[in-house]
Amino acid sequence: MTSLGNIPVDFQQSLVRFSTSLYKGLNKTESLCVSPYSITAAFLMLMIGASGRSKQQLSTAIFKNSLLSDEEENLKYYKSMHTYIVERAGINVVLASANNLFVNDQFTVLQNVRENAKQYFGADISVKDFTKPKTSALEINRWVLKKTNGKIKDLIKENWFDKNTIMFIINVIYFKATWWMPFSPSSTRKQTFYLPNNKKIEVDMMHNKKVFTLSYRGLDFSAIALPFKGGYFDMVFILPDETNGLLNIEEKITPDFLNDISKGFKNSVYNIAIPKFKLESECDLTEELPKLGVKDIFGFKANFSDLIIERTQGLHIKVAVHKTVFNMNEAGIEGAAVTAIRFGLRLRTIPRFTADRPFLYYVRDIKSGLILFIGRFYPKVK
């Protein structure tokens, strides 16, 4: 089994830092979920064909303050990290990740890009006739649908294809895990969920008694970690004390903040009440990544001179979209994401953790802290 000992801590922390920075910058008003793991893979693939300042901006966003600078070394570490995560999933967790470069048949991807995409990401090169938008969109969407176990449909739009469309770089992640101590469906019932400004809504609340968990008490929040079968992955819930406290928690989120919680976790037994929910999120990365300093790739300053043989001037990213489907129920969770770049004794009371107000959550590899999914539950009042 691949060991974390071969992957620099600096590299691991860079990926967590990118995850938290990305999440903090998102426009957040209601429930959402993103997969930093998917977005990281897609943009690392993009870096292979980028040059100059375009490559530097991508590298700085992902590896900010990292001492690592050699691109090939970073790609090797990423491959090792991915192998490590997949091996940890084993037989208890379903974890599938796939990459593909769908290329306009009028252009030729440079050999170096093809080799690195295959070697480090297992990515295939699929050549398509982009003059047939309906057929091309259908074929790419079929691939996405298959790789996400039927969860994500119609990601690629027909009107994204024109004579200037050169390539789609796509990463897909599918994750399904069962709680170590599942909730009983018979215990799920309607319950009031409180929102800011004295608003409230009814939600399906799952209940479980005497759950073995990890818990942490912060200044203005509580956190618990519910493990999945296998013991390598868990889902962390950060619940503010106040109904309107989520924004304050989100402002604090950094690798150090999450690390403090992780180090402070203590083995506990709790009565748990958490909403059952399913959501779909889609975000436009052309709006989100400039907040992290990635700007040039979306305009005339883009430099992708190391991507295709034709070296077309004006080559830039026109579409960068990320879509996530996340389902949490009594059995466990199921998440799929796609990033497409177009480019006992009653001596004492058992404590309760009742998530009846907006909260933050993330799914992580326990040992490395790598975040697979991160989001917030903030249901909309109808």
Enumerate long-range contacts of 182-189, CB under 8 Å, 24 or more apart: 182/208, 182/330, 182/331, 182/332, 183/207, 183/208, 183/272, 183/329, 183/330, 183/331, 184/208, 184/330, 185/330, 188/276, 188/330
Beta strands in 218-350, from DSSP E residues, in sequence order: 221-227, 233-240, 266-275, 277-284, 319-328, 332-342
What's the pLDDT score for residue 185?
A: 94
Domains and CATH numbers, the chain: 8-177+279-342 (3.30.497.10), 180-275+345-375 (2.30.39.10)
Separation between Cα atoms, residue 181 and residue 204, nearest integer Å: 19
CB 211 within 8 A of CB 181: yes
Using the predicted structure, report yes or no on whether residue 73 has a pLDDT greater than 90: no
Strands 352-354 and 266-275: parallel
- Of all residues in the chain, the percent with pLDDT exceeding 90 is 52
pLDDT score at 298: 85
Is the pLDDT at 261 greater than 50? The verdict is yes
Report which listed range, 278-282, 296-300, 308-312, is most confident. Answer: 278-282
Query: Binning pLDDT at 50, 70 and 90, where does residue 69 land?
Result: low
The predicted model scores a pTM of: 0.92
Q: Is the pLDDT of residue 345 over 50?
A: no
Task: Measure the N-to-C terminal CA separation of the chain; round to a whole number of Å.
Answer: 49
Q: Which tops the pLDDT comparison, 10 or 343?
A: 10
The pLDDT confidence band at residue 103, using thresholds 50, 70 and 90, is confident
Nearest alpha-carbon partner for 3 in 95, 88, 90, 84: 84
How confident is the model over 248-260, as a mean pLDDT?
94
In angstroms, the Cα distances linking 262 to 27, 35, 120, 329, 339 are 26, 20, 30, 24, 28
